[in-house]
């Protein structure tokens, strides 16, 4: 599969990277004057020394997070010759990714009708901020703005008066992930029909689409939820609890688990005020206070050992550096080694999917390429296209 990636920043590039991880050839098309916006997002930056006629340049660690397994070419889409090269790429492509503002691709001469004329089998993935139609389609869509507009920030934070964004650009990432789901479905349909499809998603739809039980709490139950910190709004005890040297997290997600957990904190599981999940949720503050009073005498390690032995789901709160030093994360391929053209050996976060044959043999992409330098593959792609 050939994927032509016109996108920049994070949502579209993340989609392109996922398709590259799955084995597609991904050609990333960038502006000659600086390339993808994310190349300038930092610090931190790494320094790529001058070599082979290339000047010294800085490499954004942000860019490195979303662009592995891609080739980079530079094109000025206002230039007729470069648009002709893009036209030839589109003729050969299976998938085209773009996250311009709605209408931008049309103004460049590549509206859906023209794309279908060039390549009837093409799957076009378009990712926008607020959607491609509707009264606010023209608004610029940046992740944190959409986290607020889509309701996510009202659910995240210590309380209703302290809205908080997620620690990663989750709207961008979900937009890319949902885009890939749509692309794969369109490619499957193409096997039956022989024709491509336009796939559209947005940061708004991706975020609203994962509000999950918080959405139906309002749409069905008439109860508008708000942030309550690190506790679950519908299950108790479920969340983060202070102990002697930090925080542990527990998930007592059923009444059978409660009957196992209660004796560990000196409580009769049939005690009336906490006997059912509904009663525990209603009396959450008192329950939290009791649990933290018991946990105050023990360290995280001691609690995780005793909870684990009892079969109570529990965990700690790791920092990012601790995650990448964790044997379990490494066992899942989540610390990925690549060799960068000028930076040398790097460790990137690995992809979330693994493929196996039924005999247990791991398959899929076995070699991963580091994110490319700006325009690193321009000449090679031009020669391949003979344009």
Q: Which two tokens stand for residue 371?
A: 């994110």
Do the Cβ atoms of 59 and 343 come closer than 8 Å?
yes
Taking alpha carbons only, the member of 219, 249, 221 closest to residue 234 is 221
CA-wise closest residue to 241 among 233, 249, 253 = 249
Q: Which of 147, 288, 156, 166 shows the shortest CA–CA distance to 206? A: 147
Residues forming a β-bridge with 199: 125
* End-to-end alpha carbon distance in the chain: 21
Q: DSSP character for 296? A: T
The catalytic position among 79, 172, 245, 285 is 172
CA distance 314 to 324: 20
**Distant-in-sequence, close-in-space partners of 387: CB < 8 Å, separation ≥ 6:** 84, 85, 88
How many other CB atoms sit within 10 Å of the CB of residue 273? Answer: 12
**For residue 44, is the peptide bond before it cis, meaning its omega torsion is within 30 degrees of 0?**
yes
Q: Alpha helices of the chain — where are they, by DSSP H? A: 11-21, 61-64, 80-92, 104-107, 112-118, 143-149, 152-155, 170-193, 203-208, 212-219, 255-261, 277-282, 284-295, 300-310, 320-325, 327-331, 378-385
Q: Which of 367, 361, 362, 360 is nearest to 336 (CA)?
A: 367
Best CA proximity match to 30, nearest among 95, 84, 128, 98: 98
Q: How many CA atoms lie within 13 A of 142 on its CB side?
A: 5
Tokens for 262, please give them. Answer: 């209660």
Question: How many whole angstroms separate alpha carbon 370 and alpha carbon 67?
Answer: 8
Contact call for residues 38 and 10 (beta carbons, < 8 A)? yes
Told to judge if 172 belongs to the known catalytic residues of this protein, a careful annotator would answer: yes
Q: What is the set of active-site residues?
A: 172
């Amino acid at each position: 599969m050939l994927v032509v990636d016109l996108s920049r920043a994070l949502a579209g590039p993340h989609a392109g990277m996922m398709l590259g991880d799955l084995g597609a050839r991904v050609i990333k098309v960038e502006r000659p004057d600086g390339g993808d916006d994310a190349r300038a997002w930092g610090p931190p930056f790494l320094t790529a020394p001058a070599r082979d006629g290339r000047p010294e340049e800085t490499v954004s660690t942000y860019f490195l997070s979303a662009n592995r397994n891609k080739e980079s070419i530079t094109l000025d889409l206002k230039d007729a010759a470069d648009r002709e090269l893009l036209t030839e790429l589109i003729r050969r492509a299976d998938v085209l990714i773009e996250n311009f503002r709605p209408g931008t691709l049309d103004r460049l001469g590549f509206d859906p009708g023209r794309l279908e004329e060039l390549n009837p089998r093409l799957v076009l993935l378009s990712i926008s901020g607020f959607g491609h139609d509707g009264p606010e389609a023209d608004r610029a869509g940046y992740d944190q703005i959409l986290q607020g507009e889509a309701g996510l920030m009202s659910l995240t934070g210590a309380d209703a008066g302290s809205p908080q964004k997620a620690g990663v650009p989750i709207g961008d990432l979900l937009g890319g992930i949902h885009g890939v789901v749509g692309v794969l479905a369109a490619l499957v349909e193409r096997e039956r029909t022989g024709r491509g499809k336009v796939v559209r998603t947005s940061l708004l739809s991706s975020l609203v689409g994962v509000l999950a039980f918080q959405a139906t709490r309002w749409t069905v139950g008439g109860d508008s939820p708000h942030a309550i910190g690190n506790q679950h709004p519908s299950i108790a005890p479920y969340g983060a609890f202070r102990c002697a040297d930090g925080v542990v997290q527990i998930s007592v997600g059923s009444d059978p688990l409660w009957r196992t957990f209660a004796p560990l904190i000196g409580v009769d599981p049939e005690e009336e005020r906490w006997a059912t999940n509904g009663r525990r949720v209603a009396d959450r503050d008192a329950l939290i206070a009791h649990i933290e009073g018991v946990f105050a005498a023990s360290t995280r390690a001691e609690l995780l050992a005793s909870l684990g032995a009892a079969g109570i789901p529990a965990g700690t709160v790791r920092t990012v550096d601790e995650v990448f030093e964790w044997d379990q994360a490494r066992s899942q391929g989540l610390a990925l080694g690549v060799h960068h053209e000028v930076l040398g050996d790097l460790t990137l976060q690995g992809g979330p999917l693994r493929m196996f044959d039924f005999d247990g043999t791991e398959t899929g992409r076995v070699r991963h390429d580091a994110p490319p330098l700006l325009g690193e593959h321009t000449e090679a792609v031009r020669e391949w296209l003979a344009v």
